[in-house]
Amino acid sequence: MPAYFLGIDVSTTASKVLVIDMAGAVVASHSEPHTLATPHPLWSEQDPREWWAASCTSLRAVLRDVDVDDIAAIGLTGQMHGLTLLDANNEVVRPAILWNDQRTGAQCAAMTAQVGAQWLYAHIGSLMLPGFTAPKIAWVREHEPDAFARTAHILLPKDYVRFRLTGAYVTDVSDGSGMALMDVRRRAWSDALLAALDIPRALLPELCEGPEVCAHISAAGAEATGLRVGTPVVGGAGDQPATAIGSGILQRGQTSMTVGTSGVVFTANDEYQPEPDGRLHTFCHAVPGQWFHMGVMLSAAGGMRWLQDALVPGSSYDELSALAGAVPRGADGVLFAPYLTGERHPHPDPLARGAFVGLTLRSGMGQLVRAVMEGVAFGLRDNLELLRSLGIEPATAAVSGGASKSPVWRQILTDIAGIPLYTVNSSEGAALGAAILAAVGAGAWPDVPSACNAFIRQVDISTPDPAAVADYARLYPAYRALYPALRASFAALAEFEG
């Protein structure tokens, strides 16, 4: 058997290609950046052709270090929900509308009213939210009817790259769940929902499981990338379930916290158990026969990047972390509402905004930085509390993303969560998860748990400080009160902005 497995991650920021060997060690990696367009407030778009160009560059870069004949299989992962439209000639119809785009509030409300809220979130495992694919389809149909009329195929970001590699219109069930058009319990497209929303089934890709071989590299894909014709390609996963696989989060109660641009609390479940009020996503896991719960903050470490860019562009993240470490818990009475790009969980509100509350003449940059760190951690705790309401009590959690690299922020996260947090022996995240799925699809491992047991182990562990846990328990209710107190102001500001 060839020795290597390849993962492609089509994220918001870059197309990354990772190659691992039979021991899970990284033997080659390359990342090529993407640009992001925000043509109007609340909008977020990218050109799918840029994903493909960046993926081709990254693939050719790693193949300078790896013999193409040693690639046994390929897995794909990437940003979820992004609406990617192709015409009958497979040309891109319009820029892709991304996961963090917030323009579709009216379409979400109309779709929910059309089928009924209770039926809907019991069916799709979530409320209908602006980031999802289905309301974006409705938005294009309403606001760009010519573009919709030209549409012959609807894909997700990683699946556009798969199409260019293989010619196949396929998505996996974990990524497909985020389109809000599946019967998530059945792991299949929902004929009833498609009919109610008047979305033709013929526009949608085929569904497959994460480690299932669903396509092979075509002659055109091989010519563009240097890959071998016929190389198997597995279903892969959305970025969050792929990251979970890369952290070994496979069974009920196993939990991870990802603090990247967005913030995610993720836990696996061996049954379909949606949150009764739809305040979490409950989607198909990339592990066959498993589901997952996911609480999402739309801005997490992205809040720290905003603070740096807006106020201290010459400072490094290490310098900002040191400033926060010199400030006591509670940031001298300053709280931060971390809703810089709207919010998803537990407050599904595209009009939500960021806010500092409690500023005084003593408030300096250290207080602001620490308040941002604590506000993001409190937002993640909101989602942990939703898991606990389902009877899922995480004993520990894997932590990853930019915040995990800061000892100060990592300690704040574990103190506010109230449980130990650990890192794993790889920081490759979603790309590693995609490569693991490829290894299983190639037959190198009998199933995903076997592969993860071989590749993944815990390393650094952060333990809660009991005094800090008590302090943050007293402060948490004040944080919880911020959104209800500010919600009407957020809406009024959005109305003023138009």
* Nearest-5° Cα angle at 304, 18 to 409: 80
65: annotated active-site residue = no
Question: Considering 9, 172, 175, 239, which one is annotated as catalytic?
Answer: 239
Encoded tokens for 451: 């592969």
* Cβ contacts of 89 within 8 Å, gap of 6 or more: none
The identity of residue 328, as a single letter, is: P
Q: Are 15 and 446 in contact (CB under 8 A)?
A: no
Q: Are 134 and 201 in contact (CB under 8 A)?
A: no
Report DSSP state, residue 343: B
Residue with tokens 């196949």: 168
Q: Long-range contacts for 330-333 (Cβ within 8 Å, ≥24 apart)?
A: 330/374, 330/471, 330/475, 331/358, 331/367, 331/368, 331/370, 331/371, 331/374, 332/360, 332/362, 332/363, 332/367, 333/358, 333/360
Give the up-direction half-sphere exposure of residue 65: CA atoms within 13 A in the CB hemisphere: 16
What are the start-end ranges of the E strands in 34-98? 45-46, 71-78, 84-87, 96-97
- Which of the residues are catalytic? 239
